[in-house]
Amino acid sequence: MLQIIDKLLEEARQFQAETKEEVEQFRIKYLGKKGALSELFRNFKEVPAEQKRETGQKINQLKQFVADRIDTLLANLSDDIGGDDTRDLTLPGPPVLSGARHPISIVRNEIISIFGRLGYTISEGPEIEDDWHVFSSLNFPPEHPARDMQDTFFIEKDPDILLRTHTSSVQVRVMENESLPLRTISPGRVFRNEAISARAHCIFHQVEGLYIDENVSFADLKQTLLYFAREMFGKRVEIRLRPSYFPFTEPSAEMDISCQICGGKGCNVCKYTGWLEILGCGMVDPNVLEFNHIDSEKYTGFAFGMGVERVAMLKYQVKDLRLYFENDIRFLEQFKAAY
């Protein structure tokens, strides 16, 4: 009898089913009224007394195994999209959400691509900087207000270690390490100790550019920026340069683009001026060249720097800068782009 049980157990183990009917046959064969287990129980009384215990246990094991096997087989079959499946296969599937790039990445990549077409390389540098690379080598006099605690996040004092307030620091590192002529842009995150509002944030992104060679003129700067503005905002964009001040450029200017909303007529976006400010620029101050061991008699250069959030706000008509940092998916998924 023990052998018969073992054989039945082995058969049950091997059994596979492709339909519910086959499972039902299997159930009848083992657990039906005239099935194998009934027969075993019927013959049980003939088992010699000393084997009863072991045989009884084995029969019960077999019964349990068969019951479990039926459950597993049925469960597997119901996963199958078989003929008697009741699900509606014409229903639409669960939505597959495709990701979108962050608008700041889209705009940054676009800026990089525009200057890439003009032969600019990309340079990157540390976000935690020293005073030399962020201020001193850029001709910031010691008492310059930009060194004020209000603007800069200091990490250590004397010697000062700080979070960079602009990516001009990267350009200093490029001047230190690379040979002339230089043509590079530095995209990156910058930090300023400012109250967060619709127009300002303590963390934002910049792309700054630097071009140094013999005979680089302000006209080259202007043409480069005009090219950039038209690639970025459209062929009809006009630019204007207003005199400004930066310690590291002389002369310095701020560039406006003609308002794309009203076409220069005046609206609430451009505050009825027809112009929108977009970046700072100028000819590299000879002091900065000399601090970086570049002969300012032989070489000249220009530099410019822009906030990526600002460009993105103008491009996408987003009025509140904070939206770029909140990562609300309903805001972010509106931006799909090739970049």
Residues 109-168 contacting ligand PHE, CB under 6 A: 166, 168
CB of 93 to ligand PHE, least distance (A): 49
In degrees, rounded to 5, the angle at the alpha carbon of residue 166 between the alpha carbons of residues 165 and 168 is 135
Q: For the CB of residue 277, give the shortest distance to ligand PHE in the complex, in Å.
A: 11
> Three-state DSSP class for 26?
helix
Is the CB of residue 101 less than 8 Å from the CB of residue 47? no
Q: Measured from the CB atom, is 70 or 281 closer to ligand PHE? A: 281
Q: Which is nearer to ligand PHE, 55 or 123 (CB)?
A: 123
Site for ligand PHE in 242-261 (CB under 6 A): 246, 249
In the chain, at which residue ranges do the beta strands (DSSP E only) sit?
A: 121-122, 128-130, 154-156, 161-163, 182-191, 203-213, 239-246, 249-258, 275-284, 300-307
Toward ligand PHE, which CB reaches closer, 110 or 208? 208
CA-nearest of 203, 217, 115 to 166 is 203
Q: Which two tokens stand for residue 120?
A: 């600019």
Strand order in the sheet with 154-156: 128-130, 161-163, 154-156
Q: Which of 35, 25, 18, 28 is nearest to 74 (CA)?
A: 18
Q: How far is the CB of 248 from ligand PHE (least distance, A)?
A: 6
Per CB under 6 A, 184 contacts ligand PHE: no
| Choice between 58 and 166, CB closer to ligand PHE | 166
Query: What is the C-alpha separation between 131 and 164, in angstroms, rounded?
Result: 9
* Residue 48-87 contact track with ligand PHE, rule CB under 6 A, x = bound: ----------------------------------------
State which residue, 228 or 304, has the beta carbon closest to ligand PHE: 304
Q: Which residue's CB comes closest to ligand PHE?
A: 305
Among 208, 256, 285, 309, binds ligand PHE (CB under 6 A): 208
Smallest distance, Å, CB 209 to ligand PHE? 7
Contact string 270-309 vs ligand PHE (x = CB under 6 A): ----------xxx--------------------xxx----
Q: Give me the DSSP letters along 90-125.
A: TSPPPP-PPP---HHHHHHHHHHHHHHHTT-EE---
Euclidean distance between CA atoms 149 and 72, whole angstroms: 70
CA geometry: angle at 253 spanning 248 and 259, to 5°? 140
- Total residues at interface with ligand PHE (CB under 6 A): 11
Q: Which is nearer to ligand PHE, 23 or 172 (CB)?
A: 172
Helices and strands counted in the chain (H then E): 12, 10
Closest CA relative to residue 155, chosen from 128, 186, 177: 128
Minimum CB separation of residue 330 from ligand PHE in Å reads: 31
Least distance in angstroms from the C-beta of 317 to ligand PHE: 23
- Residues that bind ligand PHE in the complex, under the rule CB under 6 A: 166, 168, 208, 246, 249, 280-282, 303-305
